[in-house]
Amino acid sequence: MSSRSRLASRAAIAVAAIVIAGCGNRPAASGQHLAATSAARPSLATVVGGAGGASWAIAELGGSSASHDNFWELFVRPAGAARWKLDTPPGVADNGGLVAADPGGRSLVTGFRPSQGLTFSPLAVTADDGASWSPGTPVSPGLANVPDALAAGPGGRLIALSLGGRAQLGTRPGAAWRTLTSEQALAAAPAGKACGLTGLTAAAFAADGSPLLAGACSHPGIAGIFALRGGSWQPTGPALPAAQAGRSVTVLGLATAGSRTTALLVAGTGPATSILAAWSTDGGSRWSLSPQYRAAAAALSVSFGTGGSAAIVLTGDHGVALAGPGNSWRPLPALPAGTAALAVGPAGRLDALAASGRRFSDWRLGPGSTAWSQAQVIHVAIPYGSSG
Amino acid sequence: MPGMRSGLNLDNPVLAAAFRSALLHQGFAALLIFAVLALAWAAIREWRLGGAGGNLGSPARGLVVAGREPAWRMVLRVGFGIIWIFDGLLQAQPAMVVGLPSRVIQPTAAASPPWVRQLVNWAGTSWSYHPVQSATAAVWIQVGIGCWLLAARRGQWSRLAGLVSLGWGLVVWVFGESFGGIFAPGLTWLFGAPGAAGFYCVAGALIALPQRYWRAPWLGRGVLAALGLFFTGMAVLQAWPGRGFWQGRLHDRPGTLTGMIQSMSHTPQPGFLAGWVRGFGSFTAAHGFAVNLFAVVALALIGTTLLISAARPAVPTGHRQLLLVRLAVIGAVLLCLADWVLVEDFGIFGGLGTDPNSMIPMALVLVAGYLAVVPAAVRAPAAKTAGAMTAADAVPGPQVPVTAGTSGEPQLEAAEPDTAEPDTAEPDTAEPAPPAGWSRAWRGRLSPRRLAGAFGAADARTVAAIWALGVTIIGAFPLAAAAASRSADPIIAQAIAGSAATLNFQAPPFRLTDQYGRPVSLAGLHGKVVLLTFLDPVCTSDCPLIAQEFREADQVLGGNARNVALVAIVANPLYRAVAYTRAFDRQEHLTGLPNWHYLTGTLPQLQRVWHAYGITAQLTPGGGMIGHNDVAYVIDASGRTRTELDFNPGPGTTSTKSSFAVELSDAAERAMRQS
């Protein structure tokens, strides 16, 4: 071999060595994580009802959800009562979560979200403040992972937001569900196109009984609330102030109590997040808006109370409450540890409902008070290991 | 990787007992083969000696071959033979039955790209479908290959052993080691790249080389050049920035190397060894840069030295020229041993060690490469001094013909004293051309008389090699049969839920409503085998799995399914409406199954049936699901209960579901025969 060819062969070997080295050269896993930047969606923990009837609280207790040891529990505070009691409907494992809709009076419709092998949502219905439960017509596919996935209207009518973005209507108790629309169909309709609908987040019935759906819009400055009128979906969301014109808006929650529909909206993301409430008493034709609340935090749970009141648990032990139309957002004292949801009571009374392990605690904040005081503790018999 | 998990405990007593039994059974088979071969060999030799006046005839092709085996080949053959046997014994750990897919294959593949994981998942799933057969097969295949390598020194039997070693090594490298992790990030020589089985393959390929290449001058140089290239590449990879090897600690976390060593120190092992590994881990944490610098420099030096030595125009003949390559090999072997102890932790401690990891095989290939490149003329004085040279070494023989134009070193080859075998001894070329036609020639070779003669003329090592082939086949044949089966072994179901109970009593009658609102009674199903279970339609875990197992049992039954009714009765006192049984059917894709009946009724009706069949369905407070028994009954065509199966489905992996389905379909077929 000549020195020249030897040199060439060595060069080739060196190149080959580098190529071989490069084949497996990718950074080793370093355990670094990217911070999530998407807007947080509120959990299923919430409080519903209270409009002259019982209040219902949903909170997650128990252990790890990965090992199916988390159990969602339903608590009821009957009308006029001061204390909560455990009232989780029996017969179904609720590791996937509970959602509830308040038809008024002493009734409640509760849906069990899918979990493990269960892909549809059984419903449990009570007409006596939870003293007894009976099965409703199951929702298939199962309920979506949003607190307002189930809405109750007059005459026993129900709306269910299902996984995959399907909205279904139950016309009466025991009747089969029929499809109202789907996220894709609504996004393709003129109303959805105008908002750039990216997902459905809440359902309700308007005061006139027409179905309402709400979602997240990609087009800035538009609140995506739609009403089914005359066989087609019409945009009925409130017009937002100029300050929100450049921000995308998501409907966090939607509820109708009596003749008033209340919507909780979040505009923007990150430090520029603003929270607003909107009220309508005519099915969405006209809305009044609350002042915006600048929240550099994400909403963990939303709750509605009587008279258009609402409360939101924010990250970092923060919370805000709103007494109703014409009022401003009230920042609350630092929430008790583990607060899952806030209950807005009459006369401005607030309950912070904390859940941890087997323990459910009710902390109260009286009108004018600046500190939470513990009012009640419930120890729940968690059926650990029963869903494994 | 969904198919990998079986969800069973590593020490499951049912599987451990079955594994032990299978090992013993196949061990007896191996002994039997040995006895038959030994008897036949002795008998034929006796008969041929008696009948042919002491003439055993000429040895058959490949059975007996003249010529000495070069030292490099012996190192590989014996070394890897021992390693294969050792690996086979490691495979005999009872935990291997369940643990190999989930504890060995799956973690190894976790960091690899999706296509590798998909490929590996296929093998892991196959293993988890037939864990006992697979684990037993791995033992006997590896013990067989090891024995075969040790027994067959020369000739086609020996080459074939190399080829089989290469083939099985490839299987292990691809499926067991996910290509040695070469497609995964974090590849490093220190952790064993490119996988132990990769070196098994290299060794197998070298052993399988025809005898005419045994002393080819390019062989040793080629091996050293490849190793040099490999070490150089590994040095570059080790030095590459951003891979976490230059830091002992990174953001208050152990660096890549420190983390690996620390994890190894936590594995169960002798105290002194744990102390060494812990100490080295602490040292690496404190001096990560220096440790990596040492590794990079050492790898680069070894690699470049081997490359330079291999690229020289002639093999070094003098001690001075030899010194460089010898130092490189000694350095490489020492580095391998240090890594084996301090980083790889001997490769077998803690968890399920399947082999001693890559450093020992790598060292063997290094030594073999050195022996192949260094002429015996240089080695011989040392060997003679040590008194290691045998009389056979000194036997002169004809030169191996080496074409000067291709090798450039004819004089070196001629100087080797151990090139004893004449070219005519090479079995590949020694056989005369067949007299007429290929098939006729092979018919002649395979005639019983010829085979018997060849067998009788074979030496004891060849007989041992034939036995080792038999041992390998004992492992390979059941493995191939298991892999061809699409259904899992029912022993998995038995390992989870216990064995079926045989019964013989009249099944309690029932009359309920099916998912379409039609009345269905047990009496109405007379003439069909009824597979009966109790399912909660809103259950989140066991019931959907049991339903899937029933559906799969229907598929396993094939044409027999038309004589079988699959019946489930609601086991929930609250959620028992037809709307729920229908929702359950849709969920489990049972709506199109004509022989599927999901029955419900009023609470008193259901309670009567539950009581008759020993079912309890209890409400659990606090958001729990209904507690009820997981059981299946097999009722024959005349209405008699024949079998009760505990149907707790366990983790619901693909293998457990398939296993329960097979167990159920087997019970149904038994009931058909009993009807």
Q: What is the DSSP letter of B101?
A: I
Interface of A with B in 129-168 (CB under 8 A): 133-135, 137-138, 140
**Chain A interface, best mutation among B260, B540, B574, by max A CB count within 10 A:** B540
pLDDT given for residue B350 in this prediction: 62
**pLDDT, tens digit, for every residue of B20-79?**
999 999 999 999 999 999 999 888 888 876 655 445 544 444 444 456 889 999 999 999
> Whole-prediction pTM value?
0.80
Kindly state whether A71 is in contact with chain B, defined as any CB-CB distance less than 8 angstroms.
yes
Residues in a beta bridge with A276 = A265
pLDDT for residue A14 is more than 50? no
Interface predicted TM-score (ipTM) over 0.85:
yes
Q: How far is B591 from chain A (nearest CA, A)?
A: 15
The answer to whether residues B368 and B73 touch, using CB atoms and an 8 Å cutoff, is: yes
d(CA A152, CA A165): 18
CB nearest B623 (choices: A94, A134, A176) = A94
For residue B596 the two structure tokens come to: 């599927």
DSSP tag of A103: E
Sign (positive/negative) of CA torsion B552, B557, B563, B564?
negative
Instruction: Identify the closest residue of chain A to B622 by CA–CA distance.
Output: A382
How far does Cα B432 stand from its chain's mean position? 40
CB contact under 8 A, A24 and B225: no
Tell me if B541 and A387 make a contact (CB, 8 A cut-off): yes
Q: Which long-range contacts (CB under 8 A, 24 or more apart) does A70-73 make?
A: A70/A95, A71/A95, A71/A380, A71/A382, A71/A383, A71/B622, A71/B623, A71/B624, A72/A44, A72/A96, A72/A97, A72/A98, A72/B623, A73/A98, A73/A355, A73/A360, A73/A380, A73/B622, A73/B623
B397-455: pLDDT as tens digits: 333 333 333 333 333 333 334 333 333 334 444 444 445 566 666 667 677 778 888 88
User: Does residue A272 surpass a pLDDT of 90?
Assistant: no
Q: Cα–Cα distance between B14 and B87 in angstroms, integer?
A: 24
- Please list the ranges in chain B whose pLDDT falls under 70: 1-7, 49-67, 312-321, 350-351, 375-443, 445
B182 touches A: beta carbon within 8 Å: yes
B181 contact residues in A (CB cutoff 8 A): 24
Contacts of A19 in chain B (CB under 8 A): 233
In sequence order, what E strands does B226-309 have?
249-250, 253-254
Would you tell me which residues 328-367 of chain A have a C-beta closer than 8 angstroms to some C-beta of chain B? none
Locate the chain B residue with the closest alpha carbon to A379: B622
Higher pLDDT, B185 or A209: A209
Distance from CA of A113 to the nearest CA of B (A): 11
A28 and B586: CB-CB below 8 Å? no
> What's the CA angle centered on B163, arms B162 and B166, to 5 degrees?
90
Best interface-test mutation with B: which of A18, A20, A140, A380 has the largest number of B CBs within 10 A?
A20
B506 vs A: CB within 8 A: no
Chain B CB contacts of A16 under 8 Å are 229, 233
pLDDT score for B402:
36
CB distance A334 to A313 below 8 Å: no
Interface with chain A: mutation pick from B572, B587, B588, B589, highest number of A CBs within 10 Å:
B587
Q: Is the pLDDT of residue A125 over 60?
A: yes
Tens digits of per-residue pLDDT, A28-50?
333 332 222 334 578 999 999 86
Across the interface, whether the CB atoms of A25 and B243 are under 8 A apart is answered yes
Using CA coordinates, name the residue in chain B closest to A1.
B313
Among all residues of chain A, which has the CA nearest to that of B245? A28
Closest residue of A to B621, CA-based? A90
Question: Given this model, what pLDDT does residue B503 score?
Answer: 95
Cis amide prior to A141 (ω within 30 degrees): yes
**Residue B430, pLDDT score:** 41
Interchain pair A14, B587: CB under 8 A: no
Of the partner residues B233, B573, B623, the one whose CB lies closest to the CB of residue A71: B623
Closest-CA distance, A95 to chain B, in angstroms, reads: 8
Residues 83-102 of B with CB under 8 A from A: none
Please check whether residue B256 touches A, CB under 8 A.
yes
C-alpha distances out from residue A350 to A305, A342, A366, Å: 10, 7, 7
Tell me the sheet residues that pair with A369.
none
CB A18 within 8 A of CB B233: yes
Contacts of B303 in chain A (CB under 8 A): 17
Q: How far apart are CA B425 and CA B215, in angstroms?
A: 14
Q: Report yes or no: A4 at the B interface, CB cutoff 8 Å.
A: no
The separation between CA B264 and the C-alpha centre of its own chain, rounded to angstroms, equals 23
Counting one residue from A and one from B, how many pairs have CB atoms under 8 Å apart?
170
Tokens 């036997």 label which residue? B395
Residue of chain B minimizing CA distance to A380: B622
Taking only the tens place, the pLDDT of each residue in A84-99 is 999 999 999 999 999 9
CB contact under 8 A, B620 and A382: no
Per-residue pLDDT tens digits for A58-86: 999 999 998 899 999 999 999 989 999 99
Q: Which residue of B has its CA nearest to A71?
A: B623
Two tokens, residue B490:
């029912």
A146 has pLDDT over 70: yes
B186:A28 CB<8 A: yes
With CB atoms and an 8 Å threshold, state whether A24 touches B237: yes
